[in-house]
Structure 1
């Protein structure tokens, strides 16, 4: 897309792209790690979980890096790769699934902001009271009008928020490292008095969806590839941002095992990092981390708002979404995409009022919706390596890229399986009606809606959505 006369002002530096990646990944999840891992596993299981998740997501990051170099003409990131590799409808499904995942991630942020305020002001409760929903809606539309004033300005604010929210995390790591009790760490190492392989496997599996959630956002630089000053900055920002966040996640998790018994970690309220900090330095430490959480989640919310609107806008520019979603305002902000995005977030917020465990549901649904687009990116990288497209004959990098893409593909499939049937059915309920946007776009282009394979795929999604609705109706699954 031509950015117009303001093109220079709308480009992102390498540091801004790194901040987008870090800002998208560092949000609510990292502040909940001590209790989440304490309930699931000991330190050894945590190490194994991070090795698996770190390896899988690093391979995905390297796939993004490779695709940015090999397919520079695909400037719509996660959506464009799925479309180029597997056709219009699969590309649309990737875009819509990722977009809905971004919207759900924003709901997670809004609920957690109000839930954290509820620790100090009971009127907010757990983040789903009437006052909490109303104030979250006010925040939603305030950010909406901020972003309408220009993506560049919103991204600059996100960069500042990224640095601000990392400071409390670094302070926590420094204090926990200085006060580390090696005997406590040893007692928490296995997570059980009589460890065996089956128990360790069970412990590790119970952490998998959580690890997916804290890595969601790794594609931030790729989504904004059309704004990058240099194509090389996209892959660099993705890998550096990922490695930075991985180090933070591992240190926060493992150091917490050296501060409190595992049972005490498991009982800590959200944000559990605040409870660990308070046990080390007193009440001020817990308040400081809680303030850091608010800054972190606000920044994370802004990152997801930007990503959600951008992927919808990019798909519309490439004529896979209706043309009204490609509309920009005078500030070059994707106005059409922003309005639809925030209306959907508002609807999800209202639904969260009736959900029994709204925060947990939104968190897991975010992971479930983004895993399909991740799988398609990895599969496209594997396809290029398999066919040799973009590679010179005998290129050594082809084998290495194929291995990395293969590992990333297997990892994504394994995570989808670990999520279970419930979240596949719930995802289908969101995918199926979203296809209406695809049909509108096809009608605008005067094209046949589906080819034969796409018709079969849509029928499968529709059947799964119907099964999901029936399961909800009879109480077989619940929200």
Structure 2
């Protein structure tokens, strides 16, 4: 194999711009978007939710811009958060950055396993109840190793699957948005917007001051953007490192628009009091009700599984990547091996 062929093969084993964006989006979304109307409406009304999305967008934008600046200033650092910590503050900080991220990703993988088996129980009632019984453990183990094997086949293969799964998820979200737009009622949206009144017919209860509601939404909105650093973490696998900051910003914009529309438009169909008491995932109930068919729940459940698998692949990729880079620089070997 000559140098040209070797270079071509190495280039093929890396992620392009679309792959990096899919990585960011899938890492952030997971299953969160499908229960967003309920989660937000349990703690806030229309006004506070609108302010929450504006506040969160500004805050996460600065975080994303930080990654953009670091990528521009230090394009040679292709190990993401771990390398930034090591170069900026020394090997001790680098180690704990890699170790902390590793532990968090392990927890994320466990959460995806439980969520997946719990969701599959919809198609196999009573088999995987709660995602915590022995059939769930066996099924989750098989899926975990299957996805790990997929990732081990290389970035090109896993990224293709990831892009497909992310596209399915986004397509279903678009279908959901079109449906709620068609049923949107401005009066429903504006009535008791501050959530300060009790309206039994709508299920509305006073939620306190708008500021109190705004603070309560932060735990929901900030959690939804875990994974915004995805492209940065996997920058070593990027075909063109210069595309990493663009992919980060693009992924963030896609997610903030999607989250805001799913959360806010639902409030034009149901009151916050009604949304707060829906069964999870709330988007499944909404589609089932508006379509007058259980097909709505089937569609959302399938999309949720695609979203979880796509996100799961992202976190397995990032999990392996952090340990690999830390091992290569001898940051982990003396502690663990």
Give the TM-score of the pair, scaled to structure 2.
0.90
Distance in 1 between the 2:243 and 2:134 partners? 44
Q: Is the 8 A contact 1:188 1:257 kept in 2?
A: no
Q: Is the 8 A contact 1:28 1:296 kept in 2?
A: yes
> 4+ residue runs of structure 1 moved beyond 4 angstroms?
194-198
| Residue of structure 2 aligned with 1:229, choices 214, 239, 242 | 239
What's 2:202 paired with? none
1:88 to 1:198, Cα distance in 2 relative to 1, 3 A: farther
| Residue of structure 2 aligned with 1:262, choices 261, 272, 286 | 272
Distance in 2 between the 1:312 and 1:321 partners? 8
Distance in 2 between the 1:149 and 1:203 partners? 46
Q: RMSD in angstroms over aligned alpha carbons?
A: 2.0
- State the shift of 1:262 in Å: 1.8
| Residue of structure 2 aligned with 1:118, choices 112, 115, 121 | 121
| Residue of structure 2 aligned with 1:102, choices 100, 105, 116 | 105
What's 2:314 paired with? 303
Distance in 2 between the 1:200 and 1:246 partners? 21
- State the shift of 1:198 in Å: 6.1
Distance in 2 between the 1:228 and 1:145 partners? 20
Matched, 1:40 2:43: yes
Distance in 2 between the 1:183 and 1:286 partners? 27
Relative contact order (alpha carbons < 8 A, sep ≥ 6): 1 or 2 greater? Answer: 2
Q: Is the 8 A contact 2:207 2:213 kept in 1?
A: no
Correspondence 1:126-165 to 2 at 5 A: 126-165=130-169
Q: Name the SS for the 2:127 alignment partner.
A: helix
Matched, 1:29 2:38: no
1:97-154 Cα offsets, whole Å, 9 max, x none, are 1122222222222211111222342221121122112211111111122222223211
- State the shift of 1:188 in Å: 5.1
Matched, 1:249 2:259: yes
Q: Is the 8 A contact 1:182 1:258 kept in 2?
A: yes
Correspondence 1:13-412 to 2 at 5 A: 13-120=16-123, 121-187=125-191, 189-193=193-197, 199-282=209-292, 283-322=294-333
1:188 to 1:100, Cα distance in 2 relative to 1, 3 A: farther
1:269 to 1:101, Cα distance in 2 relative to 1, 3 A: same
Q: Is the 8 A contact 1:35 1:266 kept in 2?
A: yes
Distance in 2 between the 1:112 and 1:318 partners? 35
1:182 to 1:148, Cα distance in 2 relative to 1, 3 A: same
Q: Is the 8 A contact 1:188 1:262 kept in 2?
A: no
What stretches of structure 2 of length at least 5 have no aligned partner? 1-5, 199-204
Distance in 2 between the 1:125 and 1:17 partners? 35
Distance in 2 between the 1:300 and 1:113 partners? 11
1:190 to 1:119, Cα distance in 2 relative to 1, 3 A: farther
Distance in 2 between the 1:198 and 1:275 partners? 27
Distance in 1 between the 2:223 and 2:312 partners? 14
- State the shift of 1:202 in Å: 2.2
Moved more, 197-206 or 259-268: 197-206
| Residue of structure 2 aligned with 1:9, choices 7, 12, 18 | 12
Q: Is the 8 A contact 2:34 2:282 kept in 1?
A: yes
1:117 to 1:191, Cα distance in 2 relative to 1, 3 A: farther
